[in-house]
Amino acid sequence: MILAAVGALAVAWTLVVESSPGVAGVASAASVSHKAAPRATACPFPAQLRGMFESAASDAALPPAMLYAVAKVESNLRTDALSAAGARGLLQVMPATARSLDLNPEEPRSNVLAGARYLRQLLDRFDSTDLALSAYNAGPTAVAAAGGAPTVDVVRYVANVNAEWRSVAGCR
């Protein structure tokens, strides 16, 4: 039974990796990008949030579309979002994580910057976009212990972020 669950997780993970943006190593912002078809529709970035996402993305050397995708999946772009675990704001930053970065998870601009800097730390640690996103969702300890996404829910989370990211990649 355990082997079947592990096998199913491995298959799901393979599907996510194969359908992900294809970023194996993440050493710089240039290597964390998506190729997107020309867009016929307007960008979905809310005007009142765009500046804070662009500023935080620049600070952490990340594409703004990546941060937007994480925020869309994490909080549906709600500045007042609060998870059952205590994560707060647009990027669902844990208070302890924000404190470790000397930022305030309650203030939207600071929340986005905290999420961006934390995601950059995870990218540098795991050298993989999918593993960093897994760690953003499940925690780096769980990802390191499992050697990847620790649950099917985390695999689904990574797939959702990647799909959202792909849908807005190249959007300006």
Catalytic residues: 74
Cβ-based neighbour number of residue 109 at 10 Å:
17
Locate 9 and state its tokens: 């997780």
Locate 94 and state its tokens: 């844990």
Which residue from 27, 32, 31, 110 is spatially nearest to 65, judged by alpha carbons? 32
DSSP codes, 15-70: HHHHHS------SSGGGS----PPPSS---S-HHHHHHHHHHHHHHT--HHHHHHH
